[in-house]
Amino acid sequence: MESFVRLQMLTSQMELEPAEESRAERPVCFTPKQRDAVFIHPAQLPNGQNIKLLKTLLTSACERDCFYCPFRAGRDFRRATFKPEEFASVFMELNRTGAAEGTFLSSGLAGGGVRTQDKLLDTADILRRKHGFRGYIHLKIMPGAEKPQVERAMQLADRVSVNLEAPSTERLARLAPHKQFLDELLQPLKWVEEIRRTQPAYKGSNGRWPSTTTQFVVGGADESDLELLTTTSWLNKNVRLKRAYFSAFHPISDTPLENKTATDPLREHRLYQASFLLRDYGFDLEDLPFVGDGFLPLRTDPKLAWAQMNLSERPLEINRAEKRELLRIPGIGPKGADAIMSARRKGKLRDLSSLRRLGISPERVAPFVLMDGKRPAQQLAFME
């Protein structure tokens, strides 16, 4: 069970990596023995499938001294390391028992980015080729990894990611002074997109290249929401980022930022909402309701805040609005917009009950629409 003790140590801080996280559930413990609890995360994959995901480091030894990180060099705690073959064997044991169906594999930086990336690639290669594992693998790309390593990671993994941590060079210096924003972190994301654009998908990758994600530490560098979302928007458009993850800063003892105030988790939530508006709802940065010095209002959903400013006095006629306009209405998402457009082909939508039959919450929609030329708000009292 010594290997499970090490795995327990390496998985214990992985809530810092929210990738694929299913926020409705908490990590569960797999316990070959009570003292050897290993955290397995309920996760949702890019295709919507829910699986049990083992999130772990290959080693918690790290030569970088990032100011916020529990694994930073010089911090006094017990470290643990797996060799690639060891980890593959432990993971396959968990997989055979049904405890873990996929893995998110990252690492502390030990011996430089190239050497550390090779260890991650060796691990994934052993899982794929020696053990025949065909399930989900998310591989982290290390700072300083080389382009051929990025390409090999794309051949082995279902998803690859690079944690930018901050939205710019200047902000990153406050979190991780020895990381290079452009050359070490942003460049690999550019390589991923270049490979996807110029090369046919690897024959073993189900006919498609993996998706990419990144993560930001929210509030650790005193950045604004506008800064974070400006970088997110650029990534969406230029490297086809699948998703940005946001992790609210919280102080960790024995780090340079241990006395810094934790970030309100509600700010993290608003950033997720705004990032989805940029990615899926046709919003531009200029549409987002920033207040003060570039922050989203904490107490209001950003889509609702936009609608209150723009639609309260100029409601949209739901029978004529284009899809891009329907997506601006609170309570209507892509599926709801498609359902409305399909229903309109059969006749006009005249009352709120017709929206409810389409699976749309009429209470959220009513203040911002006209239905056959009339405001429907007065109908709410008679809905039930």
Q: Are 282 and 253 in contact (CB under 8 A)?
A: no
Q: How far is Cα 332 from Cα 185, in angstroms, rounded to an integer? A: 36
Q: Are 201 and 209 in contact (CB under 8 A)?
A: yes
What is the spatial order of strands in the sheet that 136-140 belongs to?
Answer: 28-30, 38-44, 50-57, 102-106, 136-140, 159-161, 211-218, 243-248
Q: How far is Cα 142 from Cα 147, in angstroms, rounded to an integer? A: 11
Q: How far is Cα 307 from Cα 330, in angstroms, rounded to an integer? A: 7
At 64 the pLDDT is: 94
At 383 the pLDDT is: 45
Q: Are 228 and 167 in contact (CB under 8 A)?
A: yes
At 382 the pLDDT is: 44
Q: How far is Cα 166 from Cα 214, in angstroms, rounded to an integer? A: 10
Alpha-helical regions (H) of the chain: 2-11, 84-97, 113-125, 147-156, 169-175, 187-198, 225-238, 265-280, 302-310, 323-326, 334-344, 352-357, 362-365
Radius of gyration of the chain (CA): 23
Residue pointed to by tokens 């329907």: 326
At 218 the pLDDT is: 98
At 35 the pLDDT is: 47
Q: How far is Cα 73 from Cα 251, in angstroms, rounded to an integer? A: 16
Main-chain phi, psi angles of 332, to 5 degrees:
-120, 120
Report yes or no on whether pTM surpasses 0.75.
Answer: yes
Binned average pLDDT, 10 residues per bin, the chain of 384 residues: 85 84 56 61 88 95 94 91 96 94 96 97 98 97 97 96 97 96 97 95 77 97 98 97 96 96 97 97 96 94 96 96 97 96 94 93 94 76 45
| Amino acid, res. 87 | F
The HSE-up count of residue 289 (CA atoms within 13 Å, CB side) is 17
Question: Maximum Cα–Cα distance for the chain, whole Å?
Answer: 71
